[in-house]
Every structure is written in C-alpha cells, then in structure tokens.
Amino acid sequence: MEIVDTYGLAGSYDFRIVALSVAIAILASYTALDLGGRVTAARDVARSLWLAGGAVAMGIGIWSMHYVGMLAFILPVPVRYDWPTALWSLLIGIFSSALALFVVSRRRMGSLRATAGSIFMGGGIAALHYTAMASMRLPAMCLYSPALVTLSVLLAVAFSGISLWLTFLFRGGASGQRMRKAASALLMGAATSAMHYTGMASVRFVRSAVVGDLSHSISISFLDTVGIAAVAAMVLGITLVTSLMDRLQLQRALLDELFEQGPVALALTTADNRVVRVNREFTRLFGYTRQESLGRSLSDLIVPDESRAEVQHHLDLAAQGRRVELDGVRQRRDGRRVDVVVVRVPVSMPNGRTAIYAIFLDITERKRAEEQLQATSEQLRALSVKLRSAREEEGTRIAREIHDELGSALTGLRWELEEALKLITDAGTAFPADQVRGRLESMIGVTDTTINTVRRIASELRPAVLDDLGLVAAIEWQAQQFQARTGIVCQCESTLDEVPLSREQSTAVFRIFQEALTNVTRHAKASRVDITMEEEGHEFVLTIRDNGKGIGSDEKSGAVSLGLLGMRERARLAGGRIEIIGREGSGTIVTVKVPISS
C-alpha cells in the first residue's frame, strides 16, 4: 500500500513486515502476562533476577516491535538509523517493562497505583516510540501532528492500563486461564500495534537538503529486519521456556515436599506393586529405609501371609483404574502388626503405564481405644446388671425381714391386744389387774422389739450416725457391727475427730468402706481388719487392710471385679481415687483418698 503526502515524501507499508511486527507485539504481550506470575511467585534474590531478566526480555520485545513497525514503512529516500539513539530507546523500553512488572507483582493493585503505573508505562512506551523515530537519519524533516501525537500517547496510557490489569489478573498462572491469557495477549498485542501505527501516522516527511549526523548511523536491510524480529522472538521464546521450566520445577518441588512431608505413609508403586518411592512417614511406620524399599514388592515388605490373596485382589482393581479403600493389618520390619486404613489411587503416567499411590493411615491407637471402650462398656453393662440384681436382692431381704420380723411382731401384738380385751370383757365387774398388766408388759416388749428391728433396717439403708456424728464415727460403728456379725476382729485408728467432707463425699466413702468389708467377708478369708483414717496433703485417707489370702487369687471373679469397679466409680464421683494392692497370701490393702472440702 502506497501513502502519498502532498506536502512531502510518499511512503508505503510492507504488509509482511507489518504482520511480523504485530506477531512480535502479541508474543511480547503473552510474555508479559507469563512473567507477571513468575515475578510475583519469586522471593528475595530470585525475585530480583526475574524482575531484571523479565524487564530486559520485555524491553527487547517492545523495542523490536516498534523498530520492525518503523522498518515496515518504506520511503523513496535512503534511511539510516543512529544506533546510540536506538540504544536509548531500548533502555527506555527496558525501564518501562521493569516498572510494569514491579507494579503487577505487588500484593494489591488499587486504582491509584494502577493509574500511576499506566501513566508511567504509557509515557515510557510513547517515549520509546518517538525516541526511535528520532534515531532516523534521512534527507527529510519530520513534522508531527499534535493531535495524533496526543492521541498516540493517550492510547499508550490506556493500553498500558489494560495491560497492567490483565497481567495482574492472570499472574496466578492457573491452567484453566490459558485460553483467556492467549485472548488477552491478542488484545494487548493489537492495542500496542494500534498505538504504534497511530504514532507513525502522526509524522510527515518533508524533503530537506540537511541530513542529520551520520557518524553513528547504520543502514538496515530487509534481511536485517527479519534478523531483528528473529532475535526478539528468540529472546521472548527463551524467556517463556525458562518461565515454564521454572514453574514446572517449582511445582515438582512442591509435590516432592508434599509427598515427603505428608502426615500419612505414602508409597508410589508400579502396576505390579514394585516400590518406586516412599516418604519419611512410611520409613517411620514400617521400619524400612528408602534403599531397602526401592524395587521390592510392597506385598513382600509389609503384607502378612494371611492377607496376600486379599491384597492381590485389591491390586487388580487398582490396576484397572479403580480407587480402593479398606481397613487392614500390615506388618513392620520387626514383625509387629499395625492396623491401618489402606487407600490405593491409580495414576495414569505419560508413557501410558499406570502407577499406584498406596496410602497408609495408622489407626492402631484408635483400634486400641475402641477395644478399651468396648471392654469398658461391657463392664458397665455387667455392673448395671449387678446393681439391678443387688437392688432386687436388697428389696427382697428388706421385704422378708419386714414380713418375718415386723409382721410376726405386729401379729403377736394384735393377739395380745385381743387377749387383753377378752379378759376385760369376761371379767365384768371383777377386773383382773394382774393378768392385764402381764399382757400389757408383753405388748411393750413386742413393741420394743419392733422398734429395734425398724431401727436396724433403717440403719442398714442409711446409718443415722453418718448424719448425726459424721463419717469417722459412722466407720467406727460399722466396723463394730461387722465384727459383731462376722467375728472378724476390726481395729480402728483415727487421727481425726471430724472430716470436712460434703454429704455426697461422706456417703461415697462410707459405701466404699461397706463394699470393702463385704469383699472381706465373701472372699478374703481373713481373721483381722485394720482401719486407719487420717488427713494427708488436704486429702482424707481411709485405709482398709486385711490379713486374708489377697485379691490376686480372686480378681478373676466377676463379682469381685464388678465390686471393685463400683468402688472406683464411687471414688471418681466423689472427686477422689482408690488404690487396691494385694498379694496372694499377704492380704489386701484398699486406700481411698478424697480431697477435703474447703
């Protein structure tokens, strides 16, 4: 296409070179979008290196685009270029690129910062363009249209703002943004070309006999133009490849660190279960070093013999591309077994083969806790059954005593009253005082017996002495009753007159004492029990020591175990603790410690 200036020289554009300049602009724009993410991700010295290297590469790309665009304009006079001025324009392009990369790599880019960056970057690009124009040496003068020059500068500022926002937006480098990044590069490249050719349209070349200083000028042929474009494309391409390699290296380092520092044991295997790589947790859990694991079958390393068939079935499923998850048992190098959750995740490799990630989560402690919880639940269920049975037995005993003792006493009392009434009725006027007195004395005796029986039953349900005189006196009274009932000698020693325990604590300690004496009666075969009560470190300490055969021979008994469980539960509810020590043939020592209330 030929452009004729009626006041100056006629020029034309070589569209091949125009297309080349637009391609360089698009490539430079894509490089800018990619470099924004690399500068942002880098730190310290690496950040400075990426900023400097990226600025140089972008500067060369922008500078090459402008010069190739200028060389696309063909004039009918020889044109040479002053290389120092051209060098200045290159430095301006590098400075503008460094400014742009610095702005987009900040954590935030508000409107004020974006505006300032657009003005400085757009001004720098405009300065590059018109400095490059000033490097031209030809027998003509350059006359500029102020309106078009202003328009080109405004376009440079506006397109710089768009470039900054797009680069800031796509600096994360997510794979899902590739198409949008390419589209943005096309937009930025077209905008940069539009600014350049608007600047070219702002100048008229008028013949002149005066030619500028040619001492540092050089001529550029079509081949030189292609060479400039090729060098720029090479620099930008190397920059993109370097950025890609750095990103891949960073991702690989992150994946390696994630694999190595993972909180679960990881093993990467081939489809036939050969170990390719293991992490640190794998070596800790199973006891094999990396060197001992590599190349060996994972089944030979950690799978017990009885689980081989099941594991092979799961391997076949994983080799078919299916994810497998199960609970299992694996074997350490020292032979110990560990409970694990095993997850096998198949991964397709670039060579078409399948690799498998084997993930092992140690759940041994969880299994042990579940077993302990189950055992405790079974104990609690058994204790609940025993307590219900004890309540039924106690109710039956109380009912029997009320029926046998109170019932017979009240029946006898009623019979005596009937006899007294009969004597009075039959006597008429002759009142038999001696006989009535005898009957009344008999009734008083029956009544006294009934009262004593009621008191005894009530005291067994809850001794009144516990409420009236306190825990120490209640324990001494219970020991006396126990000795009178069983014939086992009980010796009480106490350094305390009164224990400041709450009602609930006193009741719990007293019931523990009763249960301990019951165990002595049923199982210990003892002839003596020593009871001591003292205060020790703000705790009430009750010790029951017998000279029986010791708890060791009876602790397998369900009744004894449940009784001890009930004693421990009472101590815990009272905020205290209980210790039971026994040796076969040496008796048993039960120590109850309860914190004293303030």
pLDDT tens digits along 164-174: 676 666 655 54
**Long-range contact pairs involving 462-466 (C-beta distance under 8 Å, separation at least 24):** 462/507, 463/510, 466/506, 466/507, 466/510
Q: Which residue has the higher pLDDT, 331 or 349?
A: 331
Spatial separation of the C-alpha atoms in residues 214 and 245, rounded to whole Å? 44
Spatial separation of the C-alpha atoms in residues 152 and 194, rounded to whole Å? 9
Q: CATH number of the domain that 482 lies in?
A: 3.30.565.10
Q: Which of 214-218, 298-302, 469-473 has the lowest mean pLDDT?
A: 214-218
For range 83-91, the mean pLDDT: 85
- ∠ at Cα 204 (201, 209), nearest 5°? 155
User: Taking 90 as the threshold, does the pLDDT of residue 530 lie above it?
Assistant: yes
R_g (Cα) of the chain, nearest Å: 51
Instruction: Name the phi and psi angles at 546, rounded to 5.
Output: -120, 165
Neighbour count for residue 568 (Cβ, 10 Å): 15
With bands split at pLDDT 50, 70 and 90, how would you rate the model's confidence at 562?
A: low
Is there a domain that residue 353 lies in? yes
Is there a domain that residue 583 lies in? yes
Nearest to 303 by CA among 356, 246, 360: 360
With bands split at pLDDT 50, 70 and 90, how would you rate the model's confidence at 591?
A: very high
Q: Which residue has the higher pLDDT, 227 or 142?
A: 142
What is the percentage of the chain residues whose pLDDT exceeds 70?
78
Q: Are residues 410 and 479 in the same domain?
A: no
User: What pLDDT is attached to residue 594?
Assistant: 92
Is there a domain that residue 367 lies in? no
Start-end of H helices in 202-277: 222-260
| Maximum alpha-carbon separation in the chain | 178
Structural domain count, the chain: 4
What DSSP character marks residue 297? B
Q: Are residues 144 and 269 in the same domain?
A: no
Give the residue from 255, 274, 295 where a domain finishes. 255
Question: Tokens at residue 462, please?
Answer: 């809850």
Q: Are residues 155 and 245 in the same domain?
A: yes
Q: Which of 338-352, 429-443, 571-585 has the lowest mean pLDDT?
A: 429-443
Q: Are residues 407 and 294 in the same domain?
A: no
Distance of CA 201 to the CA centre of its chain: 63
User: What pLDDT is attached to residue 178?
Assistant: 66
Contact by Cβ (8 Å): 446, 409: yes
Q: Which of 161-165, 203-207, 401-405 has the lowest mean pLDDT?
A: 401-405
Which of 133-142, 252-261, 456-465 is the most confident on average?
133-142
Give the residue from 228, 255, 282 where a domain finishes. 255
| pLDDT tens-digit readout, 479-529 | 998 898 889 999 999 888 788 888 888 888 888 898 898 888 888 888 999
Is there a domain that residue 520 lies in? yes
User: What pLDDT is attached to residue 433?
Assistant: 67
Is there a domain that residue 381 lies in? yes
Give the residue from 199, 221, 255 where a domain finishes. 255
Is there a domain that residue 513 lies in? yes
Q: Are residues 227 and 82 in the same domain?
A: yes
Q: Which of 171-180, 474-483, 574-583 has the lowest mean pLDDT?
A: 171-180
Nearest to 596 by CA among 513, 521, 540, 536: 540
Q: Are residues 152 and 211 in the same domain?
A: yes
Is there a domain that residue 75 lies in? yes
Spatial separation of the C-alpha atoms in residues 411 and 416, rounded to whole Å? 9
Q: Which of 44-53, 213-222, 283-292, 418-427 has the lowest mean pLDDT?
A: 418-427
3-state DSSP call for residue 278?
strand
User: Taking 90 as the threshold, does the pLDDT of residue 247 lie above it?
Assistant: no
For range 443-459, the mean pLDDT: 70
Q: Are residues 357 and 318 in the same domain?
A: yes
| pLDDT tens-digit readout, 75-84 | 888 888 888 8
User: What pLDDT is attached to residue 388?
Assistant: 60
Neighbour count for residue 236 (Cβ, 10 Å): 23
Q: Can you name the residues that pair with 539 across neighbouring β-strands?
A: 595
Q: Are residues 90 and 237 in the same domain?
A: yes
User: Taking 60 as the threshold, does the pLDDT of residue 176 lie above it?
Assistant: no
For range 114-141, the mean pLDDT: 80
Q: Are residues 30 and 151 in the same domain?
A: yes
User: Taking 60 as the threshold, does the pLDDT of residue 560 lie above it?
Assistant: no
> What is the number of residues in the chain?
598
User: What pLDDT is attached to residue 99?
Assistant: 78
Is there a domain that residue 354 lies in? yes
Range of the domain at 272: 261-362
Which of 291-300, 400-409, 498-507, 557-566 is the most confident on average?
291-300
Q: Are residues 248 and 395 in the same domain?
A: no
Spatial separation of the C-alpha atoms in residues 157 and 195, rounded to whole Å? 10
Please give the mean pLDDT across all residues of the chain: 78
Q: Are residues 39 and 176 in the same domain?
A: yes
Q: Are residues 101 and 61 in the same domain?
A: yes
